[in-house]
C-alpha cells in the first residue's frame, strides 16, 4: 500500500499530475482542490497522499493534498453506486469542507447538482455518511473552503473568452467523461460572463451546469 508519494512535480493538469520519485514518474489523478494547491509549482518538491484503485484492467493512483481529503474520497466510495470518478467529481464540484457540511446538514439538493448523482444517489450518500463525515479532520492542508459559489455569472455583454483557460478547462471536462461539444459551449458561457475566471473556477461551475 502506498501512503504518499513525494518527489519533483514535473507536470500539472486539472485532472492529473506527474511526480517523479526515485527516477519513476507517477501519473496521479487529482481533484480540483489539489490542482489549485499545485498549479504553477512545476519543478518543486511535492507530496500527495495516495489511494490506489486496482482493477483487472487498470491500476490507478489518486492523490490528495491532505489526509482528510483522502479520507473523504475513500468514504464517498463506500456508498453503493459511487466509484472513483464520481467521487472525484463530487470533490471537484465542492471543497472538502463544503462536502462535509452538505452531508452533515442533509443538503441532498446541493449534492444532486453534481453530474451523475441525481436525488436518489445524493440521498443515499447522506443516509450512509451523515453520522461519519464529521469525524473527518480537515484542519491540516485543507485550504479549499470557499463558502459561496466559486463564480457568480454577471453582465449581459459578450466578452472575449480566454482561449488558454478554455482549452485547459474543456480538456479536463472531457477527461472526466463529458462530451467535448457540450463542454465547450458551457465553458464559453462561463467565460463570457466571467472572463477573469481561473481554470479551477470554470471547471467547478461547469460541473454544476453540464
Of 67-76, 111-120, 123-132, which range is least confident? 111-120
How does residue 168 score in pLDDT terms, banded at 50, 70 and 90? confident
pLDDT value at position 203?
86
Separation CA 33–CA 65 (nearest Å):
8
Residue 157 inside a domain? The answer is no
Model confidence at 199: pLDDT above 60: yes
Q: What is the CATH number of the domain that holds 118?
A: 1.10.150.20
Domain shared by 39 and 91, yes or no: no
Q: Is residue 152 part of a domain?
A: no
DSSP 78: T
> Is 46's pLDDT higher than 70?
yes
Give the total number of structural domains in the chain: 3
Nearest in space to 4 (alpha carbons), one of 201, 185, 141? 141
Cα separation, 105 vs 109, whole angstroms: 11
Average pLDDT, the chain: 83
pLDDT at 162: 52
What is this structure's pTM?
Answer: 0.74
Report yes or no on 144 lying in a domain.
no
What grid cell was written down for 9?
512535480
The per-residue pLDDT for range 27-41, each reduced to its tens digit, is 999 998 898 889 889
Q: What is the pLDDT of residue 161?
A: 42
- Whether 108 maps to a domain, the answer reads yes
- Domain region containing 197: 163-207
Q: For 101-112, what is each residue's pLDDT tens digit?
A: 999 999 999 898
**Contact call for residues 127 and 135 (beta carbons, < 8 A):** no
Q: Which of 33, 48, 64 is the last residue of a domain?
A: 64
Percent of the chain at pLDDT above 90? 43
One domain for residues 33 and 16 = yes
Q: Which CATH number is 193's domain given?
A: 1.10.8
CATH number at residue 42: 2.40.50.140
Is the domain of 41 the same as that of 78? no
**51 and 15 together in one domain:** yes
Using one digit for the tens of pLDDT, what is the confidence trace for 58-92?
A: 889 999 999 999 999 999 999 998 999 999 999 98
Alpha helices in the chain (DSSP H): 32-38, 67-77, 84-93, 96-104, 108-112, 118-129, 163-175, 180-193, 199-207
Sorting pLDDT into bands at 50, 70 and 90, what band is 22?
very high
Q: Residue 144 — pLDDT band, cuts 50, 70, 90? A: very low
Amino acid at each position: 500500500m502506498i501512503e504518499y508519494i513525494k518527489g519533483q512535480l514535473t507536470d500539472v493538469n486539472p485532472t492529473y499530475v506527474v511526480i517523479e520519485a526515485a527516477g519513476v514518474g507517477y501519473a496521479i489523478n487529482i481533484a480540483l482542490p489539489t490542482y489549485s494547491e499545485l498549479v504553477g509549482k512545476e519543478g518543486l518538491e511535492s507530496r500527495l497522499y495516495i489511494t490506489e484503485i486496482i482493477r483487472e484492467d487498470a491500476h490507478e493512483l489518486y492523490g490528495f493534498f491532505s489526509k482528510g481529503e483522502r479520507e473523504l474520497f475513500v468514504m464517498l466510495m463506500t456508498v453503493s453506486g459511487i466509484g472513483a470518478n464520481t467521487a472525484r467529481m463530487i470533490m471537484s464540484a465542492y471543497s472538502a469542507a463544503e462536502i462535509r457540511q452538505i452531508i452533515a446538514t442533509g443538503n441532498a439538493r446541493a449534492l444532486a447538482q453534481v453530474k451523475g448523482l441525481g436525488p436518489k444517489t445524493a440521498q443515499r450518500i447522506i443516509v450512509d455518511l451523515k453520522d461519519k463525515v464529521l469525524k473527518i479532520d480537515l484542519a491540516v492542508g485543507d485550504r479549499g473552503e470557499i463558502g459561496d459559489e466559486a463564480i457568480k455569472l454577471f453582465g449581459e455583454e459578450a466578452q472575449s473568452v480566454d482561449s488558454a483557460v478554455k482549452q485547459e478547462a474543456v480538456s479536463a471536462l472531457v477527461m472526466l467523461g463529458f462530451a467535448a461539444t457540450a463542454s465547450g459551449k458551457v465553458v464559453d458561457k462561463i467565460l463570457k460572463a466571467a472572463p477573469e475566471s481561473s481554470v479551477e473556477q470554470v471547471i467547478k461551475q461547469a460541473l454544476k451546469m453540464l
